[in-house]
């Protein structure tokens, strides 16, 4: 079997990353027990990955479960202004996945609305009044095929099926209650957005709630799917140094089958159906430019129903889930 792990991490690092992607709030002792190592070893690896690989565990609002729209924005900018605009968007709490593409003159941004009016404020208010933005293309996301709670590390498959099952938390279920975030939940959600592994005492201090109330509301938010815990890290540490946004046009009758096929491709980290000139958007990762070309001309190019592909390589990733200013 061909290896998909060309980076400077070892097998235990990969297993720890997938364990956290499976359940970001799992204790080090639980992860260690499943992986067959001590909790001290897990804690030491976690600290190193945090310091050297940009690892961070964060809580996220699940817009689909909450019934809120996601939008993918393509902003063509005047020369020398794209970085400034990308950084400004990255600082907003209603955005994530901000990057520079197309020679550094285009900003690609995925919105993460916190309230129903967030995207109207951004699309109809702030962006049109920004003089250095030459063109705005807004693509509403209609259906997610891969991404969100489904993490890309699962495609590396360092964990066995038994290990994944032992770490998998309860998924949203009909009896878990409606997916909603009440005003009283906001301090709790904000604390999880800052640190998805915040302890119960830390969440108590952030919210002023009792221990039992914190556990009850946290359990309800996670069980209903209103909030999920995800991880961010630098793909470069895994050896994947090339990434691109793919704007794909599929025949209408093949839209769903193409989206499902994309979700199964190893190189695809995110795939969704969109409204707009293209009807699918995806992000692909590869070890290098040759690997990206091999994917676009190979597995992607051979998909029945694909009519057109525009490939926009990432020049710089400005924000994944959280914003980290460039030093």
pLDDT in tens, 71-97: 899 999 998 899 999 999 998 888 888
Same CATH topology for 9-53 and 65-149+235-319: the answer is: no
Where do the DSSP E strands lie in the chain?
A: 56-61, 71-77, 95-101, 106-111, 133-146, 227-232, 242-250, 268-274, 280-286, 306-319
pTM of the model: 0.86
Indicate whether 176 pLDDT > 50. yes
Tell the CATH topology of 65-149+235-319: Alpha-Beta Plaits (3.30.70)
- φ, ψ of residue 204 to 5 degrees: the values are -65, -45
Indicate whether 119 pLDDT > 70. no
Which percentage of the chain shows pLDDT scores above 70? 90
pLDDT in tens, 278-323: 999 999 999 999 999 999 999 999 999 999 999 999 998 899 887 7
Rounded to whole angstroms, how far apart are CA atoms 307 and 251? 7
- Cβ–Cβ < 8 Å for 66, 180: yes
**Helices and strands in the chain: count of H runs, count of E runs:** 12, 10
Indicate whether 131 pLDDT > 90. no
The CATH number of the structural domain formed by 9-53 is 1.10.10.10
Higher-scoring residue by pLDDT: 2, 264: 264
- Cβ–Cβ < 8 Å for 237, 53: yes
* Domains in the chain: boundaries: 9-53, 65-149+235-319
pLDDT in tens, 225-282: 899 999 998 888 888 999 999 999 999 999 999 999 999 999 999 999 999 889 999 9
pLDDT in tens, 198-220: 999 999 999 999 999 999 999 99
Number of Cβ atoms within 10 Å of the Cβ of 297: 11
Burial class (CB in 10 A: 0-12, 13-18, 19+), 79: exposed
Secondary structure (3-state) at 310: strand
Rounded to whole angstroms, how far apart are CA atoms 317 and 297? 24
């Amino acid at each position: 079997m061909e290896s998909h792990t060309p980076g400077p991490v070892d097998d235990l690092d990969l297993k720890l990353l997938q364990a956290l992607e499976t359940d970001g709030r799992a204790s080090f002792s639980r992860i260690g027990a499943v992986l067959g190592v001590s909790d001290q070893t897990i804690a030491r690896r976690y600290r190193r990955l945090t310091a050297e690989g940009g690892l961070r565990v964060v809580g996220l609002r699940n817009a689909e479960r909450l019934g809120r729209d996601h939008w993918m924005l393509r902003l063509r900018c005047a020369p020398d202004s794209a970085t400034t605009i990308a950084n400004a968007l990255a600082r907003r709490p209603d955005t994530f996945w901000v990057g520079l593409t197309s020679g550094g003159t285009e900003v690609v941004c995925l919105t993460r609305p916190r309230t129903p009016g967030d995207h109207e404020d951004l699309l109809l208010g702030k962006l049109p009044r920004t003089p250095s933005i030459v063109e705005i293309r807004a693509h509403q996301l209609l259906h997610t095929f891969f991404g969100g709670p489904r993490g890309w590390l699962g495609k590396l498959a360092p964990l066995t099926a038994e290990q994944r099952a032992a770490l998998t938390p309860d998924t949203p279920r009909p009896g878990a209650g409606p997916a909603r975030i009440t005003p009283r939940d906001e301090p709790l959600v904000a604390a999880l957005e800052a640190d998805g592994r915040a302890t119960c005492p830390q969440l108590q201090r952030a919210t002023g709630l009792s221990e039992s109330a914190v556990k009850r509301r946290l359990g309800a938010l996670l069980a209903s799917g209103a909030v999920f815990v995800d991880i961010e890290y630098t793909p470069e540490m895994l050896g994947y140094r090339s990434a691109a946004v793919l704007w794909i046009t599929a025949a209408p009758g093949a839209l769903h089958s193409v989206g499902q096929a994309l979700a199964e491709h190893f190189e695809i980290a995110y795939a969704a159906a969109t409204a707009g000139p293209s009807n699918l958007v995806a992000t692909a990762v590869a070890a290098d430019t040759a690997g990206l070309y091999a994917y676009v001309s190979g597995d992607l190019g051979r998909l029945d129903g694909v009519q057109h592909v525009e490939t926009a390589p990432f020049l710089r990733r400005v924000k994944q889930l959280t914003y980290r200013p460039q030093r």
